Amino acid sequence: MNKDFIGESLDRVDGRLKVTGAAKYSGEYKPAGLTYGVLVPATITSGILNAIDTKAALRASGVIAVITPFNAPKVPGYQPDAPRPMKGLKLFNDNKIHFNGQPVALVIADTFERATHAASLIKCKYERQSFATNFHENMETNSKPAGEQHKEYVRGEANAYKSAPFIVEESYTLPSEMHNPMELHVTTAIWDGDDKVTLYTKSQGVISSQRAIATAFNLEQKNVQINSHFVGGAFGSSLRTWPHEIAAVQAARMVKRPVRVTLTREQMFLLVGYRPLTVQKIGIGATADGKLVGITHESFSQTATYEDFTERSVNVSRFLYASPNANTRYKIVPLNVGVPAPMRGPGEATGAYALESALDELSYKLNIDPIELRLKNYADVNPETNLPWSSKYLKECYQQGAARIGWDKRAQKPGTNRDGEWLVGYGMGGGAFGAYRGKTQARIILSADGTVVIKSATSDIGPGTATAMVVIAADRLGLSADKITFELGNSALPVAPTQGGSSTVSSVGSAVNDVCVALKQKLYNLSGKPENSTDPIDYTNVLQQHNLPSLELTTESDVNPDAKKYAMYSFSAHFVQVYVHPVTGVVKIKKVVAVVDGGKIINMKTASSQMIGGAVGGIGMAMTEEAVIDDRYGKYINSNFADYHVPVNADIPQIEAIFIDKPDPVLNPLGTKGIGEISLIGVAPAVANAVYNATGRRIREMPITPDKILKG
């Protein structure tokens, strides 16, 4: 076959399995003797668990055991003398309470319902201690995180923006956004003797999960088997091994039977991370013609008292625009809450919200079109490192996005564009995210019937990883896609990185590319023809001629050594049209255009889905999502899907995804970069900027709700 598959729109290879229910997720495996674990939450926010009464629970029907800090077998990796002591919350290792809802016990029973009932019978005695959950009242307790990467950054002169004739100095607030994919976090643990364990768990990286469980229980890594064949969404919540996963393994060892621990929806708000509440202070100054003089970006971000979480919220201000002076500071504020986690576009999405909002404010002070202002400060090389970009087509993103949204209909003066009783506004926001590639192995097996199986221990949290790999293999081998299968989600497969940071196609795709090229070379050698021959060969005939039932190869793909000579990023520009009702404050998002410089696009169909999904997440950030704590008790009051608002179908308009689709010549042999993060980065400020353009009212605290618009 001579058809080029890359860039076409192949249906998801696992789509039928998912829509028919044949795809098995981590909570659907039922080993013999399966038991069920339910976590019991603390009802105080800080203090000591002095005693726990488990008698009634143990007498309840079907209950097998109750694990508490007072009877739990020690987890080796939790101990201070461990070779590599584990960080974070160590369930049942001590009796200290760090946040409301922290698990204090695990009830194990023969059914989930019986375990749930028994958990309600647990009684605890606490010594209450003072706590802090109000971010704004505790901002002064901030500290600079440890590590060279978090030191204050200065290019040129610090706070140089203050000397500019036109200045914007504002604060921008993002509330906590909670990780709540459709699939709950579920872990099933099965021991084989005392030194081997198998887990079915929701993981973005089966190899990293394998390593974490081996470290926790002092096992050889090869004796830990992680299975995560299908993942019902994660967005970053499964980038690490959480304490409830270790508790499931601990419980299974204790009761000598398989144990499944399923988090409730409310526990999902507490135990698997979230985008942290962040207050950002931006100072930005420019000359009258729009040239930037300086940018100062300071971020204060929520973390836990027991573990520091950091992200790169200020970094985007160092390189996105060609400002001669820039300085950034990053601080964290410890509170009695669960620890945050990376969430789609981590750091960069938060930072771009502040930077792109401030830049929009500056455009009005200068009376310059927001796109023109960005073009006046376009960075032709990375200002932070002085390295050339491996590729950058952000100007094309601006041009195409403006044309498709109808930017020429935008009124420069806010509040003057109407359609009937509705105010009409247009806004845009840009984004950037690092383009990465990691060392990856892939194995290929060509069978005598002409079918191909490729294996690599990556994960798929929804973008269509297997589909992209089949497209690459079909293109490189010249086979039809229905002859190719890609296996993933299994730690016994060849090593692959965790799915995160928009790097899977770059990393795993490169390995698939390389192993396919190696297989073709081997087949040409066996056929006696040169690999660059224009004569096609019949793969099955070659195997038959050499009496081979199959041919198997494993290769490893690594980072391009020339990559360090370049700044490698994906870029995006998001454009939004909104209608705002001046009497009610209701905002309707009418259209979103997302334009991406993400290198060569492997599969247009799944890539477009990625962009649409990211835009939906950005709309949630701008319009609906906000976790609310009652600071009297330190407890979330909207930890459910009725009160925590995510965008629904009625909130989502037409979303158009456009790809520049030009290959990056440096990052990998496919020319891809990555789109998972930049699909969201820049959407929230585009919405906020459009609302201002419609109303003349600048909302600097997300989400944008009618009361904030009416208050002005």
Q: Which amino acid is at 506?
A: S
Distance CA 504, CA 498 (A): 8
DSSP letter for 647, please: -
Q: Where are the alpha helices (DSSP H) in 573-647?
A: 604-623
Query: What is the C-alpha end-to-end distance of the chain, expressed in Å?
Result: 62
Count of C-beta atoms within a 10 Å radius of residue 573? 29
Query: 569, 392 in Cβ contact below 8 A?
Result: yes
SS3 string, 294-336, reads EEEEEEEEEEECCCCCCCCCCCHHHHCECCCCEEEEEEEEEEC
Q: Judging by beta carbons within 10 Å of its beta carbon (0-12, 13-18, 19+), is residue 673 exposed, middle or buried?
A: buried
- Judging by beta carbons within 10 Å of its beta carbon (0-12, 13-18, 19+), is residue 485 exposed, middle or buried? middle
Q: 278 by DSSP, 3-state: which?
A: strand
Angle between helix 604-623 and 348-366 (nearest 10): 70
Count other C-beta atoms under 10 Å from residue 1's C-beta. 12
Q: Cis link prior to 703 (omega < 30° from 0)?
A: yes
- Can you tell me the distance from the alpha carbon of 259 to that of 271, in angstroms, rounded to the nearest whole number? 19
Residue 642 DSSP code: T
DSSP H or E stretch at residue 395: helix 394-405
Grouping H, G, I as helix, E, B as strand and the rest as coil, residue 498 is coil
What's the CA gap between 36 and 112, in Å, rounded? 5
Query: What sign has the CA pseudo-torsion 52, 58, 62, 63?
Result: positive
Distance CA 554, CA 552 (A): 7
What is the pairing mode between strands 47-53 and 123-128?
Answer: antiparallel
Q: What six digits make up the tokens of 310? A: 């950091």
Q: Per DSSP, which regions of 324-455 are E strands?
A: 326-335, 418-419, 422-434, 440-447, 452-455
Q: How far apart are CA 364 and CA 633, in angstroms?
A: 43
Residues annotated as catalytic are 677
